[in-house]
Amino acid sequence: MKILKFGGTSVADAANIGRVLDIVKNKSKESRLVVVVSALSGVTDLLLKASGEASAKDENYKEISRLIEQKHLEAIKELIPVNHQSALLSHVKRVINHLDTLLDGCFLLGELSARTSDTIVGFGEILSSCIISEAMKHDIDFGLETGFKDSRELIKTNSSFGKAAVNFELTNKMISDYFSENQQRVTVMPGFVASSTDGNNTTLGRGGSDYTAAIIAAALNATELEIWTDVNGMFTANPKLVKQAQPIEKISYQEAMELSHFGAKVLYPPTIQPVLNLNIPILIKNTFEPEAFGTYISNENNLQSNPIKGISHMDKMALLTLEGSGIIGVSGFSKRLFEALSNHGINVVFITQASSEHSICIGVQNSDADMAKTAIDLAFEIEIAQHRIDPCIVEKNLCIVALVGENMRNHQGLSGKMFSTLGKNNVNIRAIAQGASERNISVVINEKDVQKALNTLHERFFEDNIKQLNLFVMGVGNVGEKFMEQISSQKRYLKENMKLNVRLIGVSNSRKMLFDEDGIPLKDWKNMLEDGEKADKERFIERVKALNLRNSVFVDITANAEISKTYAQYLEKNIAVVTCNKIACASEFHNYRNLKNLSRKYNAPFLFETNVGAGLPIIDTLKRMIASGDKVNKIQAVLSGSLNFIFNNFNENASFHDVVKEAGVQGFTEPDPKIDLSGVDVARKILILIRESGYEMEINDIENKSFLPQASLDTDNVPDFFSSLTANASHFDTLYKEASDKDCRLKYVAQFENGKASVGLQLIPKGHDFYNLEGKDNIVLFYTDRYVDQPLIIKGAGAGAAVTASGIFADVIRVGNV
């Protein structure tokens, strides 16, 4: 014999019940069946709401009762042939009338006893089981003998209304006797409901339909217990929170109990106990994908390379801490603590105690926290009054996350991996517990971090170490577009070869912004952005924070000073910052140092390789050199690809104005070219290299020897600036002629030595490292303690949208490899 239990979503409506009938037909060809059913989806909640409103003297309970009635009448009309409906309709109306009488009583009395509540909430299963049983009897294709049996007549309990304890000796005998005498091929029974030995209606706790099925399976020593639900079994994590969660094919009873205890709602925790000792396997199946394997729960030893079977969590938890010198070495302390909680019916789900015995922490449901504090403070009021124990401390809105696996005990370092993985994503652990069986490691964290924690841990233990990077991109002009193209073209390569899954979650330009937690398609981001919401820097930040995704990276591809001021807000939320915007790192030294400190404190990378040399590995090389113990004594560099392009193309046949224009067209200058030509941009770059070399300096400490005439420097808009270049053409021609006469080339050079720095136009003679610097190339010469006579030279393209985008891309990959 097999026991099949169908949950609320499986019997939500006539269409779903039709699927149940098909499954039962197929299964009944192989074996006798007991079919246990839950209430129609949502009905139990409606019953609870109706009883609550009736006892609160809110007449809306009548409308809820009509809704419940209508829901069942509609199911009957769709499932039962018209000429067979009348008897069942009359039965349902009688049951609803009984429900109305009870609700009216609650309304008149203005109260709801636990005993009355049990009777009311059990109506859902009573009604659904009758309807499903009749539907089977009248299905012309069924061709089998179907019976109905009220579970209240077979399952006997004590009178603990709400979650009654089963009298197994009496229950097992009654179930065994009934099925020995009644040999129907299929017997339909309501789940959840039972009755006390003195005849009152009781229930087995929320989710008790699973428990009903397990009780019957154990009493009949069934060959298998099947739990039919709306998912493909137990998952490695909650699939609603972790999109990459996978079904677990095989799992032990103990692992299943751990996962269900810690919130895996697909299985009610007490379900396993009745079948465990009899070694009756449990199969969890999906009503909507019956061909899927599901999860097989048994005593089989399922050895596998991964010792972790699943990650589960319990939300809406509170942590209560009791501490003080009066605890140390006092026998009976724990007894008094747990007795105080037990006397108030408070369930403790988490316990941890310091080895010093100075404090003890317990986890309870949020809803029980205030009552628990009152009970504890009362139990220890004398010690509290004598200041030997502090009053109980309560922290609410927490969550317990647990790693579960039977073979965890045989693997070292799992807890270390768990804690470091959470720590890298700035998930603060409030408490830790691990049982002696080593089947689970549990941590208490803030509830707001639960999705990030689950995804981070799942990524670490189940996803072949594929790390998901969630990008939030600000600025999608020339460089930004190239960056998007590079991500799109390399996405597959990154996943297959570097184990990085890069997703675009948020994007913004100056007009619009767009967010999608599931990822914005990289092939269509531009069109989607046009339909996005109005851009707002502050709202962008708040959305990034609220999403609270693991491995988040803010990518700034602007030259906007206001955007550069937001970096601290990202870093202190453990969000990495990748930027080509030089303003932050060239701002006041205390701000630069603060950003670096925040990066270290919150384990959030702050990378700005493209601040100097676009895609050239200048800053990364410098960092490695300093980290190895070398010291920079002198820097000489041509750091502006735009200025190098301009002076390499400026000659007697091309006016200075036209060359600058062309540089802008090719994307080598900022939108306002005066930023490049005034030397401000180069000064920022050398300042960043000086700071990264370990020296403290401000931008005003750098001598700027401008080659622009004062009239050009005084302009305040781009058209006027270009006009000034034309008006002062002779000035620039003179500069070129002087260089040409001396057989030199014009290069805009930045240098640092002996604590002093400067930027300015220089005449570079033949034979110098800078002389043959072509096109838009940059070059940097580092003279250090190790590179004394011959400097370390880094040379290559230092401007252009594609190379700058590649530098940003490289920084993003560095974040992924941290």
**Amino acid symbol at 609:** E
| Catalytic one of 685, 756, 766, 776 | 685
The answer to whether 218 touches 275, Cβ cutoff 8 Å, is: yes
Report the distance separating Cα 350 and Cα 434, nearest Å.
10
Contacts of residue 148, defined as CB under 8 A and 6 or more positions apart, other chains included, come to 129, 130, 133, 187, 188, 189
Closest by CA to 123, choosing from 149, 150, 145, is 150
Report the distance separating Cα 506 and Cα 470, nearest Å.
9
Query: Is 685 tagged catalytic?
Result: yes
Report the distance separating Cα 801 and Cα 477, nearest Å.
9
Residue 791 per-residue DSSP state? -
Q: DSSP secondary structure string, 547-598?
A: H--TTEEEEE-S--HHHHTTHHHHHTTT-EEEE---TTTTS-HHHHHHHHHH
Residue 376 has which token pair?
């504890």
The answer to whether 642 touches 799, Cβ cutoff 8 Å, is: yes
- What burial class does residue 324 get, using C-beta atoms within 10 Å of its C-beta: 0-12 exposed, 13-18 middle, 19+ buried? middle
Residue 320 per-residue DSSP state? E
The answer to whether 102 touches 55, Cβ cutoff 8 Å, is: no
Residue 247 per-residue DSSP state? B
Report the distance separating Cα 494 and Cα 496, nearest Å.
6
User: Around Cβ 120, how many Cβ atoms within 10 Å?
Assistant: 23
- Edge-to-edge strands, sheet with 576-579: 533-534, 512-515, 500-508, 467-474, 552-556, 576-579, 606-607
- Edge-to-edge strands, sheet with 186-190: 146-148, 186-190, 33-37, 2-6, 224-229, 282-286, 295-298, 250-252
The answer to whether 757 touches 701, Cβ cutoff 8 Å, is: yes
Residue that the structure tokens 């300093």 belong to: 626
Residue 51 has which token pair?
């009883």
E strand map for 668-743? 702-705
Report the distance separating Cα 178 and Cα 130, nearest Å.
18
Residue 239 has which token pair?
């699939």
Half-sphere exposure of residue 99: CA atoms within 13 angstroms, side-chain side: 29
**Which residues lie across from 247 on neighbouring strands?**
235
Which residues are tagged catalytic? 685
